Amino acid sequence: MKRLKGLLRTIGINPERLQFYNLSAAMGPRWAEICNEFTEKIIALGPSPIWLARQKKKESLKHGE
């Protein structure tokens, strides 16, 4: 995980966008909780630089047509 987070950092992606949890199949409620928490965190972080770059490319293609 440390290594992967480091790799993300090198390409300008906030390592907070990656998280690792260890859960058993019997831990449904905890899983739902984590999903909600993580979704909130990602929304708070806003769009990723990759998404922004892709949007920009789409826009320019539209204008180009």
Partner 1 sequence: MIVGEQKPLEEIWEMVKVHKQLTVFGCNTCVAVCHQGGNKEAGILASLLRMKATQEEVDIEIVDSGIERQCEHEFFESVRDLMNRSEAVLSLACGIGVQFVATKYQTLPVYPALNTTFLGDVIAVGHFTEKCQACGDCVLGLTGGVCPVSRCCKRLMNGPCGGSSNGKCEISKEIDCAWQLIVDRLEALGRLDDYEKIPPLKDWSKDRAGGPRSFKLEDM
The whole-angstrom distance between residue 38's C-alpha and the CA centroid of its chain comes to: 9
- Chain centroid to Cα 4, Å, comes to 13
Binding pattern to partner 1, positions 4-43, x when CB under 8 A? ---x--xxxx------------------------------
Q: Considering beta carbons, is residue 24 or 60 the nearer one to partner 1?
A: 60
> What is the C-alpha to C-alpha distance for residues 43 and 26, in angstroms, rounded to an integer?
28
Shortest spacing between CB 11 and partner 1, in angstroms: 5
Q: Which of residues 18, 23, 35, 50 is near partner 1 by CB under 8 A?
A: 50
| Token digits of residue 34 | 């984590």
